[in-house]
Amino acid sequence: MTIETPFFIPDASRGFRFSRQGELLWLESLALAEQGDVVHAFCTRRGGVSAGPFHSLNFSVSVGDDAVCVERNRKIVSAAFGIPAAHFVTLRQVHGDDIAVIEGGTLGNPPKRSCDGLLSVESGSVLCIKTADCVPVLLADTRRRGIGAVHAGWKGTARGIAGKAVRLMTARFGTRPADIIAVIGPAIGRCCYEVDEPVRQEMRDVPGWREMCVPSVREGRWMCDLPGANRRQLAAAGVPEEHIHDAGLCTACHREVFFSHRGEGEPTGRQLNFIMRR
């Protein structure tokens, strides 16, 4: 179904690879691909039909794109992976730490449709997270059926959403943290993510928070490592360090490949990140 591409910008040599079908280009984790029954992708902005600042594979209507284009983009990805478009479960992400569990083919609690994480043990449900700098985290239990997708912006990171997802998988699915593969996709890096002192203070409950935010060249500003903060949360929740894989790709540095709210401002699009079990 996929063809590995020699795409050279950006570097994808850290346990990840770019793959493509036609103009559609996405990033894969080798650790998840080796699981066999796990299908996943960190989509790029390439391969869709949206125009202007949403060029081209935008998955969000709320940013101002034409709904017809967004639906066509969904069908492009659906066809490429051989998954019915109706199986893609998306959320109204609200930059919090609420997580929904899919049971019986539907979200168990309709109000939880507004949340920032999804968990499931069911085959066929495609757990989707949309990002344009925030951290996408995909989770897979190597022994049981549990999978998860987490959207971690600075607020979700400050509230520990990645670690919360691990603990919820343990409570609901009997998952052992030691059996989880956790993959952190493209997100804004510390090189580009400058925050103010109030945001830095909100991060103080994150393990190693002082190392996560280092002084910027501008007084009263800090360069924040959101992917690093989520790595630490996952490790603190019991996921072995060797099971945590970080793409290390900054969305703001590579705007030709990824949408970036910080790098481009608004309006801009949102790329899709998803995981499912066949």
Is 70 exceeded by the pLDDT of residue 215?
yes
In 46-145, where do the E strands start and end? 88-89, 100-103, 106-107, 117-120, 126-131, 135-141
- pLDDT of 259 reads 98
- pLDDT of 105 reads 63
Q: What percent of the chain has pLDDT over 90?
A: 86
Question: CB count, 10 Å around CB of 223?
Answer: 19
Tokens matching residue 261: 């709210």
Query: Domains in the chain and their CATH numbers?
Result: 15-277 (3.60.140.10)
- Distance between CA atoms of 193 and 68, rounded to whole angstroms? 33
- Crossing angle of helices 161-173 and 226-236, in 10° steps, is 30
Of 38 and 12, the one with more pLDDT:
38
Lowest average pLDDT, out of 1-15, 57-71, 209-223, 259-273, goes to 1-15
For residue range 76-87, list pLDDT tens digits in order.
999 999 999 999
In 66-156, where do the E strands start and end? 88-89, 100-103, 106-107, 117-120, 126-131, 135-141, 147-152
- pLDDT of 65 reads 98
DSSP 8-state symbol, 168: H
**242 within 8 A of 170, measured Cβ to Cβ:** no
User: CA angle at residue 137 from 132 to 143, to 5 degrees?
Assistant: 155
Residue 200: pLDDT band (50, 70, 90) is very high
For residue range 104-159, list pLDDT tens digits in order.
766 544 345 789 999 999 989 999 999 999 999 999 999 999 999 999 999 999 99
- pLDDT of 14 reads 75
Considering the entire predicted model, what is its pTM? 0.94
The overall average pLDDT reported for the chain is: 92
Looking up tokens 């893609």 gives 88
Rg of the Cα trace of the chain? Answer: 17
- pLDDT of 217 reads 96
